[in-house]
Amino acid sequence: MFSGIIETIGTITRIDTIDEGARLTLRTSIPREEVSMGESICTNGTCLTVTLIEKDELSFDVSAESLRRTNLYDLQIGDNVNLERSLRLDDRLSGHLVFGHVDGVGQVQSIQPEGDSFLYTFTIPTELSRYLVEKGSVAVDGISLTVFNCKPTEFTCAIIPHTHAVTTLHRRKPGDRVNIEGDMQGKYIEKFVQEAVEGTLATQLQTLRDEIGALRKQVEQK
């Protein structure tokens, strides 16, 4: 589990194809002595497992499913990625709960300066819009952001200078693909409500069937 507060930026140094997946190797300033094999590190918003530690580099094995569902497939040697190590139980939660389970890929639609900040508008697949609410939270490439101006296929975030400088956002341009993870709380609420509604409908349908069956028996007896 993560918070969406980016710890540092890594640089891709090697990409190896492994079966249908890949092994990503990156250079990072995270101290090697603080990283363990098997540790989870959020990489551009995707929860990846450390599989190799060498000097100033870390490697991660990426499944074919992760490549299909995220922008990790787009990475090239020299590209930068946002990195965040998993939360400790005693950590402050400065952003929101991020799981590193990317829901889909969006695109940077526009970047507009506003004072010393920036307004980023992102386009998203329509099926992701239901997880976005005005002034709610979203993870974009692993960055915890507040959304506004929510529409069926887009939303906007105001990016302060600090966030712009310490994440990969300052390298983004219109057309770039970004990983999107909606707030997990919304997904659970959606599931509970859906199951409750479906359960109610199923009960009503069974009651109706029972009543029809009883009427048929009465007709047959007559």
Whether pLDDT at 194 is above 70: yes
Of 28, 25, 36, 29, nearest to 61 (Cα)? 25
Alpha-carbon gap, residue 52 to 62, rounded angstroms: 13
Confidence of residue 189 (pLDDT cuts 50, 70, 90): confident
Alpha-carbon gap, residue 144 to 142, rounded angstroms: 6
Predicted TM-score (pTM) of this structure: 0.83
165: part of which helix (H) or strand (E)? helix 161-166
Alpha-carbon gap, residue 207 to 200, rounded angstroms: 11
Whether pLDDT at 221 is above 80: no
Q: pLDDT tens digits for 89-133?
A: 777 778 888 999 999 999 999 999 999 999 999 999 999 998 898
Whether pLDDT at 79 is above 80: yes
Whether pLDDT at 209 is above 90: no
pLDDT of residue 97: 85
Confidence of residue 219 (pLDDT cuts 50, 70, 90): low
pLDDT of residue 66: 94
SS3 89: coil
pLDDT of residue 110: 97
Whether pLDDT at 190 is above 70: yes
How many CA atoms are closer than 13 Å to the CA of 178, on its beta-carbon side?
A: 30
SS3 171: helix
Of 5, 1, 2, nearest to 166 (Cα)? 5
* Rounded percentage of the chain residues whose pLDDT exceeds 70: 93
pLDDT of residue 20: 86
